[in-house]
Chain A
Amino acid sequence: MAIPTKPVSKAGVTPETNPKPKPKSKGSWWQAKEPQRQDNSAIIGERKTTPYVFSLPAILLVAGLLGFPVLWGVWQSLYRRPSLGADPDWVGLQNYADMFASDAFWESLKKTTIFVTGSLILALALGLFFSHALFKVVGRFRFLRAVMIGPYIVSNVAAAVMFRILFNAQFGTMNQALEWLPFVDSGPRWLADPTIAMVTVIFTQVWTDLPLVILLLLGGMMSIDQAHLDAALVDGASGWDRAIHITSPLLAPQILISVVWISYSTLTGLGVVLALTGGGPLKATQTTAMEMYTVAFRNLEFNQALAIASFILLLNGLLTLAYLRIGRKYNYDA
């Protein structure tokens, strides 16, 4: 947990009484979380079955509804129904071959790349900018943090409606503001123009994702050792210099985690695209996730769609690996 307002203090338990974290061990980074006491069953008088009974419902539910369906889905991507309602036939990797042979798939991959890259750039730029600004006033303006969380508690559909209104070509505030400028005749048709629709989608996606990025980066800034900044101050570094050359490099783990997290959320995110544009206009925002949804629930080719879903899962698995590596490298626990 990166924010100093840990719930621990609220429970009236002082940190001093906590079990001290295990000194550097050869275990993985996540194992550092475990209490170091060897007698883990030290609370006497327990039946051996208690922990199993306690944890079984959770394990069953997660295995049954998260683990199993995905494995089943990957397995089913090797089958195909000759016609709707017929029994599926084993086709091996044919669904994948068809997927890679399809123009729509490659086109969607291109769109996804733009979507992920654009969101990364915008989210990191805004995230660093806003978290630096918030950091300067830490302790004051507490309401700002509460306000800043706002987009996080809004559903994707609600965000889509809000941005559809904001970016409306005729009465949207965005175009009203643009047309107020002397050199702009009429603002772009944000959602109807295939070349610009993706920009609108990126804006909306980043708007919904930014609160967590800001909180993550802000938490990282709060934990930076002040001595580094003092030294730079003594050497005469300006505020901007310190932000660029000291704070940002020391934020590396949080920035990397943000990168992984935004990539994850845009690569696998369907809600914003579906609710805002539905992949249109002219498939301009048809990302791979959206392509999967179209193939499955509009064309009803479920097995073909499962091949696309498995492909996304594979990319997502790579992201998870990156996440774990970052966690291990910096001993960072997000």
Chain B
Amino acid sequence: MTDTLSQDEIPADRIAEEPLTAGERSRRKWRPTGSGRATQIFKNVLISIPLILLVIWTVGPFLVTLSVSLKDKVEVFADPSLIPANPSLDAYGDVVRSDSFTTSFWNSVFVGLGTTALTILISVPAAYAFARFRFRGRHLLLLFTLLPRLVPTIGMMIPIYRLAIATNMLDRRLTLIVVYTSMLLPLAVWLLVGFFQSIPRDIEEAANVDGASLWGRLRYIVVPLAAPAMITVGVLAFREAWNEFTLVLVLVNSPGNRTLPFELYKLQGVEGVADYPIEAAFTVLTILPFIIFYTFVEKHVVAGLVSGSGK
């Protein structure tokens, strides 16, 4: 159905046409159906109020934090307005110069990249096997997709902690990478299996006839075609490692191995009057790198996020 109709024309034979989903329809004809300019403006306002509320709900806490981070310790209490009278970046300077931030930042980067790499390295072949081969154990896939749901972090905490003590792996960044990877694998494999199955088998068979080996097909056909799904998996893995908080609290202790959420948690637990600008600046600096990274890959990720929501 090519859309040659003007946007506000509702075709009389709409019902006879192939049914549109509500989403398609909305995209085609979004203008309110009222007559007259005033009605339209009114309806547009009516529609936009919830959207403005959504933006306030989402962005509000960010803005409040940003505002506090630009004030100084006294100003926070003296002048509670959202726009600081004389904004300064002193809090950011203090945070960036502190050991606790720089160390935990690089730890987070290390653990994040490590988790991403290991997750992709392990999940791609596994998903390929689940998607393409008929073998014993193929039905573990269901268990795979259900495990993270059956095993919330809260159930893993103590056993993983005891296991780490028993294997002398406590307080190591490598432990974090391995544990996060195992938490991410089910979702990663599940996403990739769905994607691999959507790659036509014929392409691979044709390549096989032309003499491509298994590795050749993986290298030149499967992996390039699955790049969007792999990006999604990578972002999800990085996000998990970057944000995970309860396990790192248990598995890591020494300041040299802490990640950003751990250090931020420690920061607000310090006795005495909390230094709100420092906390706020630390928070902003924790979130900002991921937001920057995320904006570059956002359009690849949203679809994957929804699939992940059920997990």
Where the two chains meet, the residues of A that have a C-beta atom closer than 8 Å to any C-beta of B are 1-8, 10-13, 15, 17-19, 30, 33-35, 37, 40-46, 48, 50-55, 57-59, 61-62, 64-67, 69-70, 72-73, 76, 126, 129-130, 132-141, 144-166, 168, 170-173, 176, 207, 210-213, 215-216, 219, 221-227, 229-230, 257, 261, 264, 268-271, 274-275, 289, 292-293, 296-297, 302, 305-306, 309-310, 312-313, 316-317, 319-320, 323-324, 334
Contacts and interface: CB of A to CB of B under 8 A. Distances in A.
A11 B225 contact: yes
Given A153-B291, A157-B261, A275-B265, 10 more contacts: A1-B303, A10-B300, A40-B133, A43-B132, A147-B58, A150-B62, A153-B294, A173-B80, A223-B22, A274-B265
Given A11-B226, A147-B58, A162-B64, A153 B290 contact: yes
Contact of A271 (B19, B27, B225, B246): B246
A15 to B, nearest CB: 8
Contacts of B137: 52, 55, 59
A223 B21 contact: yes
20 contacts: A7-B195, A7-B303, A11-B225, A13-B198, A35-B197, A50-B129, A52-B135, A55-B125, A55-B129, A65-B179, A66-B156, A137-B30, A158-B287, A162-B64, A168-B276, A173-B60, A224-B21, A229-B22, A264-B149, A275-B245
A276 to B, nearest CB: 10
Contacts of A324: 146
Size category of the B interface is 35 or more
A51 B133 contact: yes
A312 B250 CA distance: 19
Given A40-B134, A161-B280, A173-B80, A149 B305 contact: yes
A216 B309 contact: yes
Contacts of B55: 144, 147
A321 to B, nearest CB: 10
A58 B54 CA distance: 40
Given A139-B30, A222-B21, A334 B305 contact: no
B242 to A, nearest CB: 7
